[in-house]
Amino acid sequence: MSLFSILANDPAQTHSWLLPENAEIIYGGIASVLVIGGLVKFAFPQFTKFLNARTERIQKELDASASDLSTAQTDAAGIRQALGDIAGERARLLADANTQAAAVLTDGRARLTVEIAELEARATADIETAAARGSDELRAEIGRVASIAVDAVLPSVLDGATQQALVENFISKVGASR
């Protein structure tokens, strides 16, 4: 037997090296059409629904992020404006404080000037009062001592009217020299 005859009777051998047997093509084609039809009828709508749900979810996330971005930008603008307002308000408050401090300082200086003038006037008056009182006390003491001295020394030399004239003359000279 030749090799060719052995191969010709072999049931594993097909009529073509490229194509399967006709029955396999028919049964495989029908099975493929059924599987593809089942996939199109049952799986494709589910796959489409899944893709549409995924698209909607992604769109919602994009919309939410756009809304969040808009809110963040609005908040950032509000914060920047508030910071500008804070800086302006701080400058205004500092200017007001400086103005008030200058007014308080001017008012304090004016009150101190008036108070110092009043204290100087009061001190001058006190000095004059003390000097007058000291002068009066000195005159009285001189008069008392002179009276004692005159009473002790001059009773025999001078009479009363002359003594009195001398004492008063002395007191007036002491008062005038002051």
Tens of pLDDT, residues 43-70: 999 999 999 999 999 999 999 999 999 9
Using the predicted structure, report yes or no on whether residue 3 has a pLDDT greater than 70: no
Using the predicted structure, report yes or no on whether residue 143 has a pLDDT greater than 60: yes
Tokens of 61: 């996330």
Q: Are 176 and 155 in contact (CB under 8 A)?
A: no
Secondary structure of residue 16 in the 3-state scheme: coil
What is the mean predicted confidence (pLDDT) over 7-22? 70
What does pTM read for this prediction?
Answer: 0.36
pLDDT in tens, 76-128: 888 888 777 777 788 888 999 999 999 999 999 999 999 999 999 999 998 88
Angstrom distance (rounded) from CA 129 to CA 149? 29
Angstrom distance (rounded) from CA 133 to CA 127? 10
Angstrom distance (rounded) from CA 83 to CA 88? 9
Measured in whole angstroms, the distance separating CA 22 from the mean position of its chain's CA atoms is 92
